[in-house]
Amino acid sequence: MLGLAGLAGVAATGVVTARAERRRRAYTPDDVRSRLHERVAEAAARERDAPAS
């Protein structure tokens, strides 16, 4: 029983990983660039708004 449960866990992990990989590869280069620009702007805003220590 324990072996089957372990095998099912490994298979489920593989499915989740494959799904995430397909989702990641679905981005166009413009999508990736846009998201990176958004993340940089958010990080800069957090840094600017953070209280000085």
Distances (CA, A) of 42 to 32, 34, 49: 15, 12, 10
Burial 1-12 (b: 16+ CB within 10 A, else e): eeeeeeeeeeee
Which residues contact residue 35 at a Cβ distance below 8 angstroms, ignoring those fewer than 6 apart?
27
Alpha carbon 12 to its chain centroid, in Å, reads 18
Check residue 41 and give its pLDDT: 96
Check residue 5 and give its pLDDT: 78
What pTM was computed for the model?
Answer: 0.48
Check residue 53 and give its pLDDT: 61
Check residue 30 and give its pLDDT: 93
How confident is the model over 1-53, as pLDDT tens digits?
767 777 777 778 888 888 888 877 788 889 989 999 999 999 999 999 887 66
